[in-house]
A and B are shown apart, each in its own frame.
Chain A
Amino acid sequence: MIELHNVSKYFGERQVLKSINTQFEEGKVNLIIGRSGSGKTVMMKSLIGLLVPEEGEILYSGRNFNQFTAKEKQDLRTEMGMVYQGSALFDSMTIQENVMFPLTMLTDQKYDEKLERVNFCLKRVDLEGTNSLFPDELSGGMKKRAAIARAIACNPKYLFCDEPNSGLDPKTSLLIDELIFEITHEFGITTVVNTHDINSVITIGETISFVYQGTLAWRGDKDHVLTSDCETLNDFIFAQPLTQRIRDLS
């Protein structure tokens, strides 16, 4: 489990995260939702240690991440997989090399073992046969799937996804959501997804943390997100004419 206790982050005078308290449960898909600029990405970057919060604690299985030694942080990071908004695949490497990269750097496996694992991961994300292609030759959805394959290559304990659906059509977004959900449960991963996609919220949000202007405005799950009393959450969820219409009809 990952816990945030009174986490605050400042950029100069501006406070971006204001005393956030939340937790991300083990073996579940945990969503961080909110409008653009609400502090979701800062929260995600603080979780993985790319930003250091000025106040508060981030606990991984009860241990404060920011008090880890450099070696301990590095060891923990080998248990993390991350899917970036822009995929962040290495452009100079083929898809096979991209997925194999963490295995090469972090394990002592032989080439055949690594190749077997790469092919398994690519098959799992439905990208068989793309081994020799370069990221530029893939569509947006395929890049996201390749990024997921790379993220799960080393059997991570934690999977972080930063807006995995951005720039994708609704159908592909749904496929990515399903893939994240299935992988989380298949491998028992603790997944944290940063999103503002309402479809993701109502389909895969086993726990949902709603961030509004740097504060945690609401916490719950997909079964309660549509019926909450939180005004700012309702403004966010029912912002689109389509969702407003569905609410009015129901």
Chain B
Amino acid sequence: MIKRFLETVGEYFIFLGKVFSKPAKRSEFFRRLIDEMNSMGVGSLLIVCIVAICMGSVITTQTALQIESPWIPKWTLGFTVRTSVVMELCPTIITLLLVGNLGSRITSEIGSMRVTEQIDALEVMGINPASFLVLPKIVAALITIPILIIIAIFFALVGGYITVIVTHVSSPYEFYDGLTSFFRMYDLVYVLTKTTIFAFVLSSVSSFYGYRIKGGALELGKANVNGIVVSSFIILVLNLVITSIML
């Protein structure tokens, strides 16, 4: 089992070596990059916004229920919601959501190209399929996922604010005051660092599992599941590591 694990890790790094080689045609790379950014960003925007609003709303309601004591300042609700949403919930939960959405799409797309010999066709044409297919996806993920997370943070805070207005768990002014209190620029650096690393893991691991498929449709299904499980696991472990290092 250890041997198999080490072999897979080795294969992954060899795969990355192939991916990060010079694109055969720069204009074609940028065309594919724009396509990927469009499909990843625009394609996931709606689901990300809906989940973020719900998450912001739930965390506001739950936090309000826990801090009903008169000794706790009123702005604490907004501050706690902002800290939870910005530092942890949006970067991690939304990325895990994107693993299921974007990751499985990447694995299926590349895997079905492998099964139907389209990747072999690229190779026989003298084109590096790993670089041609995967590099635009990784670069697009590195650009779009941090942007999606920032948008998600905004909508989660809006969700919390709407909840305050609708349920009167706090006054909107105090909630807003809490949201804007004690903000550190370093928090944003921490969030963007984390999401950029998560974006790389999501796109590269999902592509790797699609690219190495041998066999048919059954293998495609297995690869999809493995891609999601392994990406999620690595993201959760890295979350722990990055948090320990940066905070």
Contact = CB atoms under 8 A, between A and B. Distances in A.
A84 B117 contact: yes
Contacts of A249: none
A80 interface: yes
Interface in A96-146: 101-102, 104-106
Interface string A52-90: 000000000000000000000111111010101110111
Contacts of B120: 50, 82, 84, 88
> What bracket does the count of chain B residues touching chain A fall in?
10 to 19
B24 interface: yes
11 contacts: A73-B126, A76-B126, A77-B123, A78-B126, A85-B117, A86-B116, A88-B116, A88-B121, A90-B113, A102-B125, A105-B25
A48 interface: yes
A105 B127 contact: yes
Interface of B: 24-25, 28, 113, 116-118, 120-121, 123-127
Contacts of A50: 120, 123-124
Secondary structure dominating the interface of A: mixed
- Identify the interface centre among B25, B118, B120, B124: most chain A CB within 10 Å of its CB: B124
A85 B126 CA distance: 19
A90 B25 CA distance: 18
Contacts of A80: 124-126
Interface residues of A, number: 24
Nearest to B117: A88
Contact of A84 (B28, B121, B127): B121
A250 B116 CA distance: 43
Given A48-B124, A75-B126, A77-B125, A90 B28 contact: no
Nearest to B120: A50
A106 B28 CA distance: 11
A82 B121 contact: yes
Contacts of B124: 48-50, 77, 80, 82, 160
